[in-house]
Amino acid sequence: MTMDAFRRARIWLGLAAFVLNWGLLSAIVSGVAGSAHAVKATGDAAPEIVTIYYLGKSYKEPPPLSLLEKPLSDKGIAGARLGIRDNNTTGNFLDQAFVIEEAIVPEKGDVVAKAKEILKGGDALIVADLEPDDLLAVADLPEAAGSVILNIRSDRDELREQDCRRNVFHISPSYAMRADALAQYLVWKRWSRWFLVQGKTDEDARYAAAVKRAAKRFGGKVVEERRFDFDAGYRRTDSGHQQIQTKMPELTQGAATHDVVWAADVGDAFGTYLLFRTYDADPVVGTQGLQAAAWHRAYEQYAGTQLQNAFEEAAHRIMTERDYEAWLAVRVFGEAATRTRETDIPTLRAHILSDDFKVAGFKGQQLTFRPWNHQLRQPLLIIGPQALVSMSPQEGFLHPKYLTDTLGFDEPESQCRFGGKAS
């Protein structure tokens, strides 16, 4: 062997020894780290438990108009379960464990009695999947005064305004927020003349009032209003489409010159059937057609696909808007607990209302609560049946602090004085 060959052999042997020693060292380090983790996991300190209650009721809901929309028995609670899993991903590192107690009463059950059972243990963190009367009945219990109740179901503006409660926070966007978000987009498009078609229910009237308010705020104009008063009958029968095909042109014939037909049909009794059946060739917006929503199955921006996929893997179906709101409500509690490293409810409540609180919602910005009426600020999707069209607030609609405060009731407009027994 020549001297050069000998030197090359020594270099290669040295490198091999280094690689071998580095591998051993890595294994030792990994073993030490694993042992330390095991010691922590089996140590005396038990994780702090954060219990979140999902309080709901099996309200009777009309069947979906389309066979594409399947009746769901776990709408909302499936999102909350995913939120718990996401909370524990972070909580495991901070010796916090999140659990959910599902308290869903039957259609004729007593929500207040169930709430009292929950509150026997003191103040509680509650995700409320409740209609307005039940929500207020629970919030006004003396035992609930110190609790934090997150509304994920009702969009009524009164719950954020005249009927606001100090212990109630709102994840669901209000009617005013939805109408403002859509109005901004329509005004940006210069489609400012609106033909408003309203249903028969009180909720339809509330939404229609929000549309009229949005017109005044942003320069739109309701050029005509009409009510849908017929009974669509058996809309899924063989002859149902013929009846609808006749009624919808009759309903919309001869309206004042307009750019869009704005449907105010919260319960989806007729609005879906306005599409492609109006007398004139009209875009349909509002509660059907082009809508303002907190979430939609087609949304994928800002890593939204990641949340969609995680939910579908866990629930084996698409994520509805209420699922998203329940997931976000649970994340609000999780974020407050992990940021403060505390679990007592007064501390969590104070943090949720502080300038330091922010929660991620896959919308390109951190979401916060309005201190004057406890509504969650958030951008809203302007969404068609199968694709995202835009997001509001729209460019050009300005605010001195938060652009999202152009949606819904801003502080100078608010009538909320936190009345009721929970004040």
pLDDT band (50, 70, 90) for residue 423:
very low
pLDDT band (50, 70, 90) for residue 18:
very low
pLDDT(22) > 80: no
Kindly tell me the burial class for residue 320, based on how many C-beta atoms sit within 10 Å of its own C-beta (0-12, 13-18, 19 or more).
buried
CA distances from 232 to 60, 66, 78, 205 (A): 19, 14, 32, 19
Chain centroid to Cα 360, Å, comes to 12
Q: Over the chain, what is the mean pLDDT? A: 88
| pLDDT score, position 239 | 44
The mean pLDDT value for 389-401 works out to 92
| pLDDT score, position 69 | 79
Q: Which of 108-117, 197-206, 225-234, 345-354 has the lowest mean pLDDT?
A: 225-234
Q: Do 48-173+296-380 and 176-293 show the same overall fold?
A: yes
Residue range 209-247, pLDDT digits in tens: 999 999 999 999 999 999 998 765 545 554 456 668 888
pLDDT(421) > 60: no
What is 48-173+296-380's CATH topology?
A: Rossmann fold (3.40.50)
| pLDDT score, position 4 | 52
Enumerate the domain spans of the chain: 48-173+296-380, 176-293
Enter the CATH code of domain 176-293: 3.40.50.2300
pLDDT(306) > 60: yes
| pLDDT score, position 418 | 85
More confident: 61 or 357: 357
The mean pLDDT value for 309-336 works out to 98
| pLDDT score, position 1 | 47
| pLDDT score, position 224 | 98
| pLDDT score, position 419 | 54
pLDDT(370) > 90: yes
Residue range 140-175, pLDDT digits in tens: 999 999 999 999 999 999 999 999 999 999 999 999
| pLDDT score, position 26 | 40
pLDDT(129) > 70: yes
Work out the percent of the chain whose per-residue pLDDT is above 90: 78
**CA gap 360, 296 in Å, rounded:** 17
Residue range 34-53, pLDDT digits in tens: 333 333 344 457 899 999 99
pLDDT band (50, 70, 90) for residue 23:
very low
pLDDT band (50, 70, 90) for residue 8:
low
| pLDDT score, position 3 | 44
The mean pLDDT value for 355-364 works out to 96
pLDDT(95) > 80: yes
- pTM, entire model: 0.87
Strand partners, 99: 51
The mean pLDDT value for 404-417 works out to 95
